[in-house]
């Protein structure tokens, strides 16, 4: 299935598509074939900010609990496992899921969704790289980057080290930082999972990142 069609079906019927590939679902690098049930139709991977906001009003779950931002029996919801040592923080209109980790909470990982192209793959990869003062990559170089499964679709894995300047109103720069992130994008929408923090801390949480990504799903009560 083409990615654009995948996003179209997610937005229109909320994950009622058969997501194709093969392999063991315990490995986040392997895509798994599974037909979603008709009850899994209230959570759209791609939504407007107004639609996303309804998922941000719930308190964070207890440590290790599979979570959701929607409530009510039978309501489809975003579900995931909280990696050990990660603390969930309230989401926002831009972040559906928001974690911190590390002794002083200096590491962070979040999931965000944007409708439309979200700027496009090339622009987003190079925007992330620009936050680390790394040179931009060409479209061919970005196409050759590794892939991991995100919602059972191949997402582009971005890893970059350097001085981190997050921007978004902040003038701070953090030395010797690392980014590990995934981008799943098409003209219909984009999903981002982005982990940043001190290089050694992010490296130590690489498996936790993979665990979180692999656990992302749509569930019902």
| pLDDT confidence of residue 118 | 66
pTM, to two decimals = 0.72
- Which tens digit of pLDDT belongs to each residue from 12-42? 333 333 333 333 444 554 444 344 344 333 4
Task: Pull the structure tokens for residue 210.
Answer: 């993979």
| pLDDT confidence of residue 119 | 77
Q: Do residues 129 and 160 lie in contact, with contact meaning Cβ atoms separated by under 8 Å?
A: yes
Q: Do residues 27 and 40 lie in contact, with contact meaning Cβ atoms separated by under 8 Å?
A: no
Task: Pull the structure tokens for residue 6.
Answer: 């995948």
- Cα dihedral sign, 178-151-47-82: negative
Task: Pull the structure tokens for residue 65.
Answer: 């609990």
| pLDDT confidence of residue 120 | 87
Task: Point out the residues of the chain with pLDDT beneath 70.
Answer: 1-76, 117-118, 168-169, 187-188, 221
| pLDDT confidence of residue 75 | 64
Above pLDDT 90, what percent of the chain? Answer: 48
| pLDDT confidence of residue 34 | 40
| Helical residues (DSSP H) of the chain, grouped into ranges | 3-13, 49-53, 121-130, 139-143, 199-204, 206-215
| pLDDT confidence of residue 221 | 63
List of residues 6+ apart from 152 with CB closer than 8 A: 19, 21, 31, 32, 34
CA atoms of 147 and 30, how far apart (whole Å) = 9
Q: What is the mean pLDDT of the chain?
A: 75
| pLDDT confidence of residue 113 | 86
Alpha carbon distances (Å) from 193 to 91, 111, 113: 13, 4, 9
| pLDDT confidence of residue 76 | 65
């Amino acid at each position: 299935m083409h990615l654009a069609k995948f996003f179209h079906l997610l937005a229109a019927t909320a994950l009622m598509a058969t997501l194709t590939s093969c392999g063991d679902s315990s490995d986040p690098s392997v895509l798994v074939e599974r037909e979603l049930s008709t009850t899994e139709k209230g959570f759209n991977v791609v939504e407007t900010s107004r639609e996303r906001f309804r998922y941000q009003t719930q308190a964070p779950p207890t440590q290790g609990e599979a979570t959701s931002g929607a409530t009510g029996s039978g309501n489809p919801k975003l579900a995931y496992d909280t990696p050990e040592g990660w603390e969930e923080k309230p989401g926002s209109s831009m972040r559906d899921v928001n974690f911190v980790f590390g002794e002083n909470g200096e590491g962070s990982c979040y999931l965000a969704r944007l409708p439309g192209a979200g700027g496009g793959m090339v622009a987003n990869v190079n925007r992330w790289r620009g936050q680390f003062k790394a040179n931009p990559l060409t479209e061919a170089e970005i196409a050759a980057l590794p892939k991991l499964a995100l919602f059972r679709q191949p997402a582009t894995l971005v890893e970059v080290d350097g001085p981190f300047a997050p921007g978004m109103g902040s003038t701070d720069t953090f030395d010797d930082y690392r980014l590990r992130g995934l981008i799943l994008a098409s003209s219909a929408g984009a999903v981002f999972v982005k982990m940043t923090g001190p290089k050694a801390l992010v490296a130590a949480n690489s498996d936790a990142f993979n665990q979180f990504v692999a656990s992302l799903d749509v569930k019902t009560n």
